[in-house]
Amino acid sequence: MTVYEDVWMLAATPILSPTAGYTMLAIFSVLWIALGIWWGRRASTYEGFAVAGRNVGLALGTATAVATWITSNTTMLAPQFALQLGIWGALAYCTASFGLFAFAPMSGRIRQLMPEGYTAVEFVRRRYGLVATVPFLIISLFYAITWLISMSMAGGKLLEVLAGIPYEVGMTVVITVCVAYTLFGGMYAVIGTDFIQSLIILIGLVVVTIAVLSQVEIADVHEKLQADRPMLLSIFFPAALMAIFNNMLFGFGEIFHSNVWWSRAFAMRAGVGPKAYVLGGLLWLPIPIVAGFLGLAAPALGIGISQPDTVGPLVAATLLGDVGAVLVFIVVFCSLASSIDSLLAATSDLVVNDIAEPLVPGSVTQRQKRLWSGVSIVALGGLAWAVALPNVSDLATVLFFAGPLVGSCIWPIVGGLYYRRPGPIAAASAMVAGSLIGLAAYFLIGWMVASLVGAAVSGIVFAVLVWLRPNGYDFKLLSAPATRPQDVADDGSSSVSPAGA
Residue 188, pLDDT score: 83
pLDDT digits (tens, 9 = 90+) for 407-434: 999 999 999 999 999 999 999 999 999 9
The overall average pLDDT reported for the chain is 80
CA–CA dist 475, 422 (Å, integer): 12
The SS3 of residue 56 is strand
Q: How far is CA 62 from the centre of its chain?
A: 16
**Residue 434 in contact with residue 455, Cβ under 8 Å?**
yes
For residues 409 and 418, what is the distance between their CA atoms, to the nearest angstrom? Answer: 15
**Cα angle for residues 287, 292, 295 (degrees, 5° grid):** 150
Q: Give the 3-state secondary structure of residue 421.
A: coil
| CA nearest neighbour of 487 among 350, 349, 358 | 358
Domain 3-395: CATH architecture, name and number where available: Up-down Bundle (1.20)
Residue 103 DSSP SS3: helix
Alpha-carbon distance of 155 to 172, in angstroms, equals 9
Mean pLDDT score, 106-119: 91
pLDDT at 501: 27
Q: Calculate the CA dihedral of residues 253, 255, 260, 266 and round it to 10 degrees.
A: -120
Residue 268, beta-bridge partner list: 56
CA–CA separation, 378 and 395 (whole Å): 23
Distance of CA 32 to the CA centre of its chain: 20
The confidence band for 436, taking pLDDT boundaries of 50, 70 and 90, is very high
Predicted TM-score of the model (pTM): 0.81
Question: Taking the domains of the chain in order of start, what are their residue ranges?
Answer: 3-395
282 to 58, 78, 99, 197, 248: CA distances (angstroms): 14, 17, 11, 17, 16
Tell me the backbone φ, ψ of residue 268, rounded to 5 degrees: -80, 150
DSSP state of 86: -
Per the CB < 8 A criterion, the answer to whether 399 and 147 are in contact is yes
Indicate whether 132 pLDDT > 80: yes
**Which residues contact residue 439 at a Cβ distance below 8 angstroms, ignoring those fewer than 6 apart?**
404, 405, 450, 454
CA distance 173 to 152: 10
What is the mean pLDDT of the segment spanning 175-201? Answer: 84
